[in-house]
Amino acid sequence: MNNIDIVMQDAREAFESFRLLSPSERSSFLQKLAAEIEAARETLVQTAHEETNLPLPRLNGELSRTTNQLNLFARLIEEGSWVEAAIDTADKNRTPPKPDTRKMLLPVGPVVVFGASNFPFAFSTAGGDTASALASGSSVVIKGHSAHAKTSQLVFEAMQKAISKAGIHPFTVQHVLGSGSTVGKALVQHPLTAGVGFTGSFAGGKALWELANQREQPIPVFAEMSSINPVVLLQHTLQENAAALAKTYAASICLGMGQFCTNPGLLLAVKSDALDQFLTLLGKEIEQTAPQKMLHSGIHASYTKGLSEVLAQKGIEKIAQSAQQPGNGEAFPTVAKVNASVFMQNPHFREEVFGPYSLAVVCADKAELMNVLQSLKGQLTTTIMATDADVEANADIIALQTTLAGRIILNDVPTGVEVCASMVHGGPFPSTTDGRFTSVGTTAIKRWVRPVCFQGFKDTMLPDALKNNNPLHIWRIVNNEWTKNGI
C-alpha cells in the first residue's frame, strides 16, 4: 500500500467507528475542537500572519469565525432535526398492505477537504468543510494548503488534542501535505473517498470535479471556484447616495486586498451624470487605498498578469489606481470601466481577476443592462443598490438576478458571508460545481449525507432518530405531519 492507501484505509476505519457516536458525543467533540483551537490562538494567528501576510486583526476575527462555526454545528447536531427524519407507519388493512418506511440522512464516509489559500482558518484545516463533514458523522482527510502549511499543521495538532481528549478514533481527522496534482489527485481518485470539499480556482476545482466523475464510482465534489459578483447600481440611489456608495464599494473591492470569493468585480449601471459622478468618487477612494501584500507570490503574479491582460483589452478605460505604487508582492488596487456593447463582445471581461479590481459596465439603457446580466455565468452573489423607487421600477431586473446567483443582496456589499441557517454560499456553475448546496452555514452539512430508507424494521433495530418514542426529541414528518411527538 502506498501512503494515500494507508491514509484512506485509516479514514474508512475511523468512519466506521465515528459514525456510530451519538449526536451529543459528536457535538461534544466539535466543542472540544473549538476549545483546543481557541487555546492555541496566539501561536496560530502569529504563524498564519507570517505565512499569508494577512493582518493580525483579520486573522483573529477569522479564527473566531472558525471556532464559532464548530460550535454552531455542535448545536445543530445536538438539536438534531437536520437529519430530515420522515416516518410513514404501516397500514395492514390497505390493499396491498402498506409497509412501515422510515427515512433519514446518513453520512457518506470519508471526506477529503482541500484547504483554501485565502482563508487559512475558516475555509481550511478546521474550517467549514471539515466542521460540516465531522458534524455529519464522516471522518475527514485534510489536504493542507502549501501557502500556509505550518498553520495547517498547527491547527491539525490542536485538533489531535481534541481527538485525544474526546477518546475517539485517532484517525477521525488526518492531515496530509503535498502537491495538488499528485497527493490531491490520489485522494480524489481513491476508491474509499466518498466526497470532496474545495475552495479555490476554477481550474483547480474543475480538475478535481472531472477526476471525480471519471472514477468507476463517481463522487460529489463541492468546489467553490470563481465569481465576479455583479452589483447593479440603480438610478435614484446613484443620484442620492453617490459619495456613500463610492466609499462603501471602494472598501468592499479592496477588503483583504480583494482576496474574497465574494469580491464585487462587476458594477453595472445605466449611463447618467450620477453614474459619472459615482465613478469619479469611486476612483478617488481607490487612489487613497494603499497597496498591501497579497497572500503569496503565486496569487500576486496571477493578479498582476490578469490585471495587465484585462487593461489591455480594446475599449476598457482605467478610472483609477492607488496613488501609491505597489511594493514587492503588493496588489495594485484598480477600477476601470467599459461600455456594455464592448463588454458583450469580449468574454475576457467576464473572467474573474482575483484581487482588488472591479470593472464598471456602462449600459446605454435598462434593456442593455438586462442583456449584460443575462450574458453572465453563474455567480455566488449578485447585489442591487437601490432606493424604494428604484426597487419599484426595476422588479424585472431583481427577478433576473434571482436566477443568477445563490445570494441576492439589497443595499449592502457582497463581501462578508454570515454563518447561519439561511446562508447560501454557493451558486450556479461555474461559481461552484453544484449550486444545490452551500459551503457556509448549517445546511453545508447536507453535502456529506445521503438518505436511507428502512422498511419494516423493528424499533430496536432503527437509528434513534427513527425510533417510535423519538428519544432524540427532534422534529420529524410522521404520516405527513411535522411533529416532535412519539408514535
Residues tagged active-site: 224, 261
48 versus 106: smaller Cβ distance to a second copy: 106
The Cβ of residue 97 has, within 10 Å, a number of other Cβ atoms equal to 9
Q: Determine which helix (DSSP H) or strand (DSSP E) holds 363, and give its type and residue range.
A: strand 357-363
107 versus 180: smaller Cβ distance to a second copy: 107
Name which of residues 96 to 155 contact a second copy (CB under 8 A): 96, 98-99, 101-103, 106, 109
5 binds a second copy (CB under 8 A): no
Beta strands in 247-345 (DSSP E): 266-270, 317-321, 334-339
| C-alpha pair distances (Å), 463 with each of 264, 302, 455, 471 | 46, 50, 13, 10
The Cβ of residue 113 has, within 10 Å, a number of other Cβ atoms equal to 31
To which residue does cell 456510530 refer? Answer: 20
State which of residues 202, 204, 411, 487 lies at the interface with a second copy (CB under 8 A): 411
State which of residues 422, 468, 469, 485 lies at the interface with a second copy (CB under 8 A): 422
**Among the residue ranges 32-40, 227-235, 366-374, 435-443, the one whose residues contact a second copy (CB under 8 A):** 435-443
| C-alpha pair distances (Å), 78 with each of 70, 109, 233 | 12, 20, 43
- Interaction mask 45-84, a second copy, x per CB under 8 A: ------------------------------x---x-x--x
Hey, is 269 helix, strand or coil?
A: strand
Q: Are 190 and 4 in contact (CB under 8 A)?
A: yes
Least distance from a second copy to the Cβ atom of residue 482, Å: 5
53 versus 383: smaller Cβ distance to a second copy: 383
Least distance from a second copy to the Cβ atom of residue 33, Å: 20
Q: Which residues pair with 87 in a beta bridge?
A: 102, 478
DSSP string, 408-445: EEESS-S-----STT-----TTTTBS-TTS-SSSGGGG
318 binds a second copy (CB under 8 A): no
Task: Round to whole Å and give the CA distance between 331 and 118.
Answer: 14
What b/e string do you get for 391-408 counting C-beta neighbours within 10 Å, with b at 16 or more? beebeebbebbeebbbbb
Task: Round to whole Å and give the CA distance between 390 and 392.
Answer: 5
Q: Determine which helix (DSSP H) or strand (DSSP E) holds 478, and give its type and residue range.
A: strand 476-478
244 binds a second copy (CB under 8 A): no
**Grid cell digits, residue 327:** 511594493
Task: Round to whole Å and give the CA distance between 30 and 24.
Answer: 10
**Amino acid residing at 364:** A
283 binds a second copy (CB under 8 A): no
- Interaction mask 159-198, a second copy, x per CB under 8 A: ----------------------------------------
271 versus 377: smaller Cβ distance to a second copy: 377
7 binds a second copy (CB under 8 A): no
Number of residues that bind a second copy (CB under 8 A): 66
- Interaction mask 200-229, a second copy, x per CB under 8 A: -------------x---xx-x---------
159 versus 424: smaller Cβ distance to a second copy: 424
State which of residues 423, 444, 445, 465 lies at the interface with a second copy (CB under 8 A): 423
> Chain-centre distance of CA 229, in angstroms?
14
Least distance from a second copy to the Cβ atom of residue 65, Å: 11
State which of residues 305, 318, 436, 473 lies at the interface with a second copy (CB under 8 A): 436
218 versus 471: smaller Cβ distance to a second copy: 218
Helix intervals (H) in 321-455: 340-345, 366-375, 388-393, 395-402
Name which of residues 81 to 100 contact a second copy (CB under 8 A): 81, 84, 86-88, 96, 98-99
109 versus 333: smaller Cβ distance to a second copy: 109
DSSP secondary structure letter of residue 330: B
Binding site for a second copy (CB under 8 A): 75, 79, 81, 84, 86-88, 96, 98-99, 101-103, 106, 109, 213, 217-218, 220, 377-378, 388, 391, 398, 402-403, 405-412, 416, 418, 420-424, 426, 428-430, 433, 435-438, 443, 449-458, 461, 475, 477, 480, 482
